[in-house]
Chains A and B, each alone.
Chain A
Amino acid sequence: MAEPVLDVQGLSVDYEVGAGTFHALTDVSVQLTPGRVVGIVGETGSGKSTLAHAIPRLLPEPPARIRSGRILFRGVNVLELPKWKLPLLRGTGIGMIFQEPINSLNPAYRIFDQIAEAVTVRKMRESGEAPTLFPVTEPHDYSRGAPVKSGDALLRAVLPSLPKRLRSAHRQELMEDVLDHLKLVRINDPETILDLYPHELSGGMRQRIMIAIALSAKPSLLIADEPTSALDITIQAQVLTLMKELMDEVRTSILFISHDLGVIAEMADDVGVLYAGHLVEFGPVEEVYTNPRHPYTKLLIRAIPEGYKRSGPLPALAGSVPSLANVPPGCPFHPRCPLAKNVCTSDPGPVLEPAKGASSRSHLAACYFSDEVARLP
């Protein structure tokens, strides 16, 4: 098996605020091998976004505090990097797509400038003018498209001091790159879009621009934090189709975060289920969905409304997610679990291990009774 791009080991994140300490993530471990798409699914407040922001160290610290764990990205422990090195990691190393396409673009700049910024960062790092943590051109491989031209380093070194009209050669070069990426995200008439401001575009268009920005840096890991949740359902389908197509073209590893089981099923190879900051199940999507080995996953899948059936009430999950300030001891799910026994309430809770009765060794569940889950209705 190839060396993982991302190896998160036992990550625990707290939020220390006036009202108390919130355990947003407890002992979460995730691995991503190159080219694989890992989905993380969970309810609101389960720590999905915290995980997404913790990996590139985007959490505001304080109030967030990374209590323990290790985030190995291409062999570098992200948690041990000094603060000033973090920007070198982001963009070309770890790219991100956010939930709110409406506000994720700076309203003061035209689309061209916004994409050009990311392209410039990447080009500077490729040519060695800007420092970087990793050789930039290495593992992300675009299976299609010409290799990146290494620009004239001398010209670019003196560029900032040149008057604007002398920069046009540089601008022309940037322009081609920007247009390529706009075409990559299937934008019609990219030449017109370049001159527009973000507020002149629809939500779906803006999310495409965000994807173009993230991809133009050619990251070896892309984190998509609920990229379609703020879009309405038809646009959501368009953006998902686009992302699915892009996954084949741009073989980058993706951590895809969503609350939508259907979206994850569509996009991901592996899925991790988060509950109250604990990773309760992890495995290949197919496995986990057809043969869940944690009662929470099972009940969550059962709670998906099926079509427009009118037979009785929806099979909702009884109870609610525990407050993160007050996570139950042992297995966090035991108060709502139909299989709970005394052993479930005592610390330390069950750990993620190969599930009993699962057909694959890579299917993990954190439950003492994972072999009994199949018997649940």
Chain B
Amino acid sequence: MATNESAGPLSSKRSKTRATALREFLRGLFRILRANPLTLIGFILVVIISVTAALVVLVPAVTQVVLGHPVLFTPYDPNGLSTEYGQAPSGSHLLGTDNLGRDMFSRILAALPLDLAIGFGIAGFALLVGSGLGLVAGYWDNPRTFGGVVSVVIMRVTDIFLAFPSLVLALAIAASLGRGTVPSMLAVLLTWWPYYVRLTRGEVLAIKHQPYVVAARAAGTSETRILFRHVLRNLIEPLLVYYTLDIGTVIVTFSTISFVGIGVPLDVPEWGTMVESYERFLLTLPWTVLSAGAAIFVTVLAFSLFGDGLRDILDPRSRRALVQAAIPSTLPAKAFVAAEA
């Protein structure tokens, strides 16, 4: 995305250093974000959320090593009881305190790493397993071959999982495994991958019949190379976008399991558990349940906006359009005119 006053000889254009390439990338990113305020909000929120989560985990760990005793990043101990129970939000307690005198702001922050890890981890596991299986099932689906049999087996197993509503299945698994963080994570993990299989297989089926795949084959490209270079490359965008949108959904599902009361134990700060345990104070201490709910809402929203923006940025077709929307006369527009002339 070089500004093109110097459409000079090829060599000078090619020999740009990595630093300028990075600067150009960042400038392009900045233009896109400026042209799309919602994407910008999503990006900022995701950065804030990620940094906060990192601080919540790292500050006690680092101080433990450096000072010999942990210093919490949160203003209060998230599980520390006090006599200041049921206080409304104020300067000393930003989000108030709950019925046991615990600082709500500290509890919300303390729950952030767990909920984020659950979102990223479970969706990531589903992405890896699901897209791998989907790729196999979609690419080698010729009937009456070994690959075709494997494909059918994968898809029927997937169908079995999809036959149950994922939340109901996750609840059933969580309930049978007993209360705890790990069992409820396992429950979501087991129910989450089939959606990725379906999505990936559908995309692969569509991509592998595209003329450009046939053209690549006609050009002498080997099947493995086609799979990685042509099929996988065009899969990345839909999968990555679905993944970022899915992080929010996973958090909500996990919170639901906790909300029903078979998820995370009560002493572990977790947003879903908090919403469940504070639900009866909705009228008396509304800030408790509302702040936990708002935390879920903001996180899900942030990743949805982030995912939407990511789709625009990853797709070369809309990327140029976005940049051009921000700054009307850029290289491609001129190049296009030149090409047509």
Contacts and interface: CB of A to CB of B under 8 A. Distances in A.
Contact of B214 (A58, A118, A213): A58
Contacts of B214: 58, 98, 104
B335 interface: yes
Contact of B332 (A89, A98, A196): A196
Interface stretch (B10-18, B30-38, B242-250, B300-308): B10-18
A214 B219 contact: yes
B211 A192 contact: no
B230 A217 contact: no
Contact of A58 (B15, B144, B218, B331): B218
Interface in B199-221: 210-212, 214-221
A148 interface: no
Contacts of B222: 87
Given A56-B218, A214-B219, A103 B335 contact: no
25 contacts: A58-B218, A62-B143, A87-B217, A87-B222, A91-B218, A98-B218, A105-B215, A106-B212, A108-B233, A108-B234, A108-B316, A118-B220, A121-B219, A121-B221, A165-B18, A187-B339, A188-B339, A189-B335, A192-B338, A196-B339, A197-B317, A200-B335, A214-B219, A217-B219, A217-B220
A98 B211 contact: yes
Interface string A103-128: 11111110000000110010000000
A311 interface: no
A199 to B, nearest CB: 5
Contacts of A103: 210-212
A100 interface: yes
Which of the four size classes fits the interface of chain A? 35 or more
Interface in B308-341: 316-317, 320, 331-332, 335-336, 338-341
Contact of B212 (A105, A187, A201, A217): A105
B299 to A, nearest CB: 31
Given A91-B221, A95-B219, A98-B215, A107 B332 contact: no
A193 interface: yes
Nearest to A113: B229
B175 to A, nearest CB: 44
B339 A205 contact: yes
Given A103-B210, A106-B230, A117 B219 contact: yes
Contacts of A62: 142-144
B220 A210 contact: no
Given A106-B233, A201-B339, A87 B320 contact: no
A100 B211 contact: yes
Contact of A189 (B210, B211, B332, B338): B338
Interface in B175-189: none
Contacts of A197: 316-317, 320
Given A100-B211, A106-B233, A87 B220 contact: yes
A294 interface: no
A372 interface: no
Given A103-B211, A106-B216, A214-B219, 18 more contacts: A62-B142, A62-B143, A88-B220, A90-B218, A94-B218, A96-B219, A100-B211, A108-B233, A108-B316, A168-B15, A172-B14, A175-B14, A189-B335, A193-B339, A199-B316, A199-B317, A200-B332, A202-B340
A92 to B, nearest CB: 6
Interface string A170-197: 0110010001000000011101110111
Interface residues of B, number: 37
A92 B220 CA distance: 7
Interface in B1-47: 7, 10, 13-15, 18
Which secondary structure characterizes the binding site on chain B? helix
A100 B317 CA distance: 19
Given A87-B222, A88-B220, A191 B142 contact: no
Interface string B133-149: 00000000011100000
A168 B341 CA distance: 32
A197 B321 CA distance: 12
A192 B7 CA distance: 9
Contacts of A200: 320, 332, 335-336
A100 B214 CA distance: 11
A187 B218 CA distance: 23
Contacts of A90: 217-220
B223 interface: yes
Nearest to B222: A87
Interface string A126-141: 0000000000000000
A87 B234 CA distance: 22
B18 to A, nearest CB: 7
A118 B219 contact: yes
Contacts of A58: 214, 217-218
A187 B335 CA distance: 12
Given A165-B18, A175-B10, A107 B211 contact: no
A26 B59 CA distance: 77
B219 A213 contact: yes
Contacts of A91: 218-221
Contacts of A172: 14
Contacts of A98: 211, 214-215, 218
Contacts of B340: 202, 205
Nearest to B235: A108
Contact of A121 (B18, B212, B220): B220
Contact of A107 (B217, B229, B317): B317
A202 B214 CA distance: 21
Contacts of A92: 220
A188 B18 contact: no
Contact of B234 (A107, A187, A210): A107
Contacts of A179: 10
Contacts of B215: 96, 98, 104-105, 210, 213
Interface string A147-174: 0000000000000000001001001100
Contacts of A205: 339-340
B222 to A, nearest CB: 5
B48 to A, nearest CB: 32
